[in-house]
Amino acid sequence: KAGVTQTPRYLIKTRGQQVTLSCSPISGHRSVSWYQQTPGQGLQFLFEYFSETQRNKGNFPGRFSGRQFSNSRSEMNVSTLELGDSALYLCASSFPPPGTGDRYEQYFGPGTRLTVT
Amino acid sequence: AQSVTQLDSQVPVFEEAPVELRCNYSSSVSVYLFWYVQYPNQGLQLLLKYLSGSTLVKGINGFEAEFNKSQTSFHLRKPSVHISDTAEYFCAVSDPLFGNEKLTFGTGTRLTIIP
């Protein structure tokens, strides 16, 4: 079974630009969560999507947004990039169909490393 | 609000020695508890989880953890470490109302195995 894939793996952007990151969950998983990882703030929850609806949201400014498509693939967008947005962005998929897996295990992708210059 | 404290940012241990990585949490409600491992340039992998029931939880790669409600702790242990255990370890907590899709992580403990 293929794991969680994230594209691109590395990205360099300039302050003020916007960026879109993509996450493909494990086949059949219905939930996708996004996290930001930085040396200073550690791992912080951004938001979670389930069946195309945002269910949970962390404490990030409105410049951070996301969406989920009918095939459960998810994208997150950051507008007006700031230097502090440089981070590793991780997505995780969970919530397999009943009887097919552990409801409480999240599978993380390798992340997208975003550098803002 | 929930929070997780990992007091040790770095832990060096000799190969084949035992190790304990400490985790304390703060929450006004019952919680789910998790330990994740992150190898260089990779995402996170779940080592073990506590949802309910037995307070001693066994995970992958020979790791185990004990939930102690009175001390609000969930320390991770391994009786004999290997070079391959070198990685960063994260303790995390979630509110059962949110399942495990909204995790609050500790700041991580970097485990270094000395040959």
Residue-wise pLDDT for B19-62, tens only, equals 999 999 998 778 899 999 999 888 999 999 999 889 999 999 99
Which positions in chain B touch A94 (Cβ < 8 Å)? 99-101
- What residue of B is the nearest CA neighbor of A41? B107
Q: Indicate the DSSP class of residue B60.
A: G
- Considering only the C-alpha atoms of chain B, give the largest distance between any 2 of them, rounded to a whole number of Å: 44
pLDDT band, very low/low/confident/very high, at A2 (cuts 50, 70, 90):
confident
Q: Given A56, A95, A108, which is nearest B43 (Cβ)?
A: A108
Q: Which candidate, B86, B75, B64, B66, places its Cα nearest to that of B20?
A: B75
Q: Given B43, B46, B105, which is nearest A42 (Cβ)?
A: B105
- What residue of B is the nearest CA neighbor of A110? B43
Residue-wise pLDDT for A44-54, tens only, equals 999 999 999 99
B12-48 b/e (C-beta count within 10 Å ≥ 16 → b):
ebeeeeebebbbbbebeeebbbbbbbbeeeebbbbbb
